[in-house]
Structure 1
Amino acid sequence: MHSPETLAVVLPAFFATGWFILGGSDIGTGMLLPYLGRTARERRLVIASFAPFFLGNEVWLIATAGVLAGCFPTLEGELLAGQYPVLVALLTGWVVRDTGLWSRGRVRTDGGGRRRALCDAAVVCGSWTVALSAGLLLAALLTGAPYEPVGGPAGVLVALAVAALFAVHGLGFATLRLTGPPYERARLLVGRNGPWQSFALTAVLLGALPPAAGGTLPLAAHAADPATLALLVPALLVVTPFLVAAQVWTWIAFRRRVTGPSYL
């Protein structure tokens, strides 16, 4: 049987991997909103493609932070202090994007063109900010400097590469969900590969990033005391299957392509 210490190390990697794969799909699609949706109706269609998923996807990021705070409080504090600017940018982008999504649904369809354009800009800018911030955070971890923001050409290149991977992942997701002209635009960039092949490939690449980056962190040395882990880890193991089941149900329930705008 696995010890609580071992499971405590595995759990944050599992939740972070889930966010990169699942959350990466709606973030990447939001990054490409101006390309995929050329008209107001098309942009609503693009947003409708990930509207049922984005809140559930965000739970994985919250779970990652929660596990780090509970099972590795000292390490989490050091990371927060060292990566403060990057994490503030990530959270700001997250809030801006979600504000744009929710505000867009409150704009009247028979008017408010400027407000709708502002909401769309918030979705795009927020999505790019989250992707680039995640890339900068990974760059710091992968280069062995987890306690300070990474700088220089290497950090910029890693951040851009991760953001590009998010965008391609969103493109694959779009080919699975969209119809009409937005689908055709997404399919044009995906190329000859089938929609599922493209999405699966980027999912594997994104999913490999958190374990690779987390391998540089001294998780075992910074774990909470055994009594705390003995309490938290079993509770997490009880909750995790429900999170996975809810995610699977959502993807099954909304597996069909979207043909019309949603509440957003």
Structure 2
Amino acid sequence: MEILWLGAFAVLLAGYFALEGFDIGLGVLLPVLGRSQAGRDRLVAAMAPFVLANEVWLVALAGVLFGVFPTLEGEVLSGLYPLVVALLLSWVLRDAGLWFRRRAGGRAWRVLWDGALWLGSAGLALTWGMALAGVALGLPAALGPAGVAAGVAVLLLLALHGWTFAAWRLPGDEVVRGAVRDGRALLLTACAAAVPALAVTAFAASSMLDRTAPDQTLTVLSVMVVPFAPILVGAQLWVWRIFRKGALPSFF
């Protein structure tokens, strides 16, 4: 049972990086690719419909962490407290920029919330990389040079994933300078984005297995959670089926 839940944790973490990774990466590239307001609008409209569905993976991941690895959750969150706060603030800032940028007119308003979207996305990428480094190398390393280097590496990796998504979703558009990437390229960068998460999970596997909840708790969680797994997968497939191609939504 413990191994099954460790596998579920790994799948959710990898799924978050593979799917939410292109949203974060595209937010990081927003000032680079979106040199005009119209260009930024197209980039945001291309990825925004996927954001909520992709964030569900993180919510599910947090639930598994709290329920299955309660002692590990306490150790990691307390040891990485500054990074956890920075990650949550970045998440809120990124989503605020996404939802508020079109709620009023005016250039200053749009620039403000586009900046919030970029800053929140960059913060998410950096803090995730630093947190992964802390788990792999020891919690104090997260705020040191190794943690910063890992944060920058994850930021660059997610930026590549975001650029590949933009080229796939907006083939021939001027914001991606005519680059065309097919689904295979997007799948490749999605797998690459998931590699750090999977590597850290594999590295910490033995420690995680030693900190699982009692078998009775895991059994109850299985009964409560497993029936909802098809809903999560089905909703994800529905979102991709609806928004993967075609006209861009104007709401964002």
TM-score of the two chains, using structure 1 as the length reference: 0.89
Instruction: Answer yes or no: is the 8 Å Cα contact 1:41–1:261 preserved in 2.
Output: no
Matched, 1:159 2:151: yes
Question: How many positions carry a matched residue from both structures?
Answer: 249
Within 5 Å, which residues of 2 pair with 1:63-74?
Answer: 63-74=60-71
Matched, 1:262 2:215: no
Within 5 Å, which residues of 2 pair with 1:13-92?
Answer: 13-92=10-89
SS at match of 2:25: helix
Higher helix share: 2
Instruction: Answer yes or no: is the 8 Å Cα contact 1:173–1:195 preserved in 2.
Output: no
Instruction: Answer yes or no: is the 8 Å Cα contact 1:97–1:127 preserved in 2.
Output: yes
Once the two structures are TM-superposed, the CA of residue 241 in structure 1 deviates from its matched residue by 1.6
2:141 and 2:78 map into 1 onto residues whose CA distance is 10
- 1:177 maps to a residue whose letter is R
Instruction: Answer yes or no: is the 8 Å Cα contact 2:131–2:147 preserved in 1.
Output: no
1:246 and 1:149 map into 2 onto residues whose CA distance is 38
1:11 corresponds to which residue? 8
Matched, 1:233 2:222: yes
Within 5 Å, which residues of 2 pair with 1:49-198?
Answer: 49-108=46-105, 112-143=106-137, 145=138, 147-148=139-140, 150-179=142-171, 180-184=173-177, 187=179, 194-198=181-185
- Quickly say closer, same or farther: Cα 1:164–1:257, change in 2 above 3 A: farther
2:239 corresponds to which residue? 250
- 2:67 maps to a residue whose letter is G
CA RMSD of aligned residues (A): 1.6
1:209 and 1:153 map into 2 onto residues whose CA distance is 17
Once the two structures are TM-superposed, the CA of residue 135 in structure 1 deviates from its matched residue by 0.5
Instruction: Answer yes or no: is the 8 Å Cα contact 1:104–1:120 preserved in 2.
Output: yes
**Following superposition, which runs of at least 4 residues in structure 1 exceed 6 angstroms of deviation?**
none
Once the two structures are TM-superposed, the CA of residue 159 in structure 1 deviates from its matched residue by 1.3
* Greater mean deviation of Cα atoms: 203-212 or 244-253: 203-212
Give % identity.
42
1:100 and 1:159 map into 2 onto residues whose CA distance is 22
What 5-or-longer segments of structure 1 have no aligned partner? none
2:201 corresponds to which residue? 214
Once the two structures are TM-superposed, the CA of residue 156 in structure 1 deviates from its matched residue by 1.9
